[in-house]
Chains A and B, each alone.
Chain A
Amino acid sequence: MIYCIGHSIISPLGEGSQANVEAVKAGRSGLKIHTDRFESVEPFCASLFDTPQEFVPLCIRSVEMAKGETDLADPSTIFILSTTKGDQLDLFTPAQSIARHFGNPNPPIVVSNACTSGVCAQITALRLLDAGLYKSAVVIGCDIQTKFIISGFQAFKALSPEPCLPFSPDRKGLNLGEATATIIYTSEVRKGWRLEAGSIHNDANHISAPSRTGEGAYRCLTDVTEGIDPAEIDLLGVHGTATLYNDDMERTAIERAGLQNVPMSVLKPFFGHTMGAAGVVETIIGMELIQRGIFIKMLSGFGGVNAAIRLRCE
């Protein structure tokens, strides 16, 4: 069990967790149609920073906002970066630059488990701290959009030309987004949100097509809700990319796990799909939206991987 002691989000919707939560509550979206970015051959809809951001400085700013009194230079603190494409395709060097900036002596850990990375990074923090290997963990999620990513999703015919419509019969695909977010966890008992459980499962079905039975996501959900009455769960933060098949897969998994009556949140219409940042951004927004209770956050991604965590605040 690990305890959240600080967090931050920097996204096109604002600087800091509070600004982002308020934007979501006010129904503001970072999604816009772009015609002149990343040499795209066709217009695309995404949530992008007005001024292009650099990966490492952006992460450093996010950690600065989240860290509070935590001593990040202490050897008992580990930096964990969740990203899919890092800084110009390099994933480890930027993580090292961030950890070094804060004087941390440990080689950082990069979690790159496709779209589930942000939840998997928190699970890694949970395990390392529970095992007593470290006392605190700085979990950073970040991805910045590039021609590389946009062109790939276009080739996959996965992008919606308009703001995405998760779980709508009219959904046409996803929107990409940029963001960075940080959560600082400690193993020291304290009040507030705590991360209690996490689970990762593969569908073992296909590397890009979601499983028809939602097997991996279903197993993740049953793992993290074991012994808990669905009526006790206050929020289920779903992935909700608004692609035809992934939304179907999630619905199947949620129904199989008996969670179809739990209140759900889907944040892609506000932030777009922020890839490596998504799990961290969406965990923070979920905690802030409900303030207290039991919160389940789930994600799924390429490579057939699914992940879920359970957080609680009394």
Chain B
Amino acid sequence: MEQLIEQLKTQIIEALNFEDMTPADIDTDAPLFGEGLGLDSIDALELIMLMDREYGIKLADPKAGKAIFQSVRTMAEYIQANRTK
């Protein structure tokens, strides 16, 4: 799990173009949207694409993403339970 979390942080930094940021800068339990990383709606769509590309998880409804994208930890938990690759 910890390994997946680290890998996911690296992928998020890459997918969302966070220059100058390292996995250590992302708090595993901090909210991704609003406070915390302050992601917006386009970032949410990029995360949906990341889940598909890297883990073979298709999220059709962007609203369903809300619970999954609460934090890096909730994302990793969802990936572990649902990944197809």
Contacts and interface: CB of A to CB of B under 8 A. Distances in A.
B34 interface: no
B40 A157 contact: no
A207 B43 CA distance: 12
A155 B40 contact: no
Contacts of B41: 206, 208-209
Contacts of B81: none
Nearest to B42: A208
B42 A157 contact: no
A155 B49 contact: yes
Contacts of A206: 40-41
B66 to A, nearest CB: 13
A157 B49 CA distance: 11
A209 B40 CA distance: 9
A30 to B, nearest CB: 26
B51 to A, nearest CB: 13
Nearest to B52: A155
Interface residues of A, number: 7
B4 interface: no
B5 interface: no
A269 B41 CA distance: 26
B interface: dominant SS: helix
B49 to A, nearest CB: 6
A206 B41 CA distance: 10
A209 B42 CA distance: 9
The 8 closest A-B pairs by CB, nearest first: A157-B62, A209-B41, A208-B42, A156-B45, A155-B45, A157-B45, A155-B49, A208-B41
B48 interface: yes
Interface string A197-212: 0000000001111000
A208 B41 CA distance: 8
Contacts of B45: 155-157
Nearest to A245: B41
Interface in B47-77: 48-49, 62
Interface in A56-72: none
Most buried by B among A156, A157, A206: A157
A206 B62 CA distance: 19
B16 to A, nearest CB: 15
Nearest to A161: B60
Interface in A145-166: 155-157
Given A157-B48, A206-B40, A206-B41, 10 more contacts: A155-B45, A155-B49, A156-B45, A157-B45, A157-B62, A207-B42, A208-B41, A208-B42, A209-B40, A209-B41
Interface in A198-234: 206-209
Interface in A104-121: none
A207 B40 CA distance: 11
12 contacts: A155-B49, A156-B45, A157-B45, A157-B48, A157-B62, A206-B40, A206-B41, A207-B42, A208-B41, A208-B42, A209-B40, A209-B41
A156 B62 CA distance: 9
A28 to B, nearest CB: 30
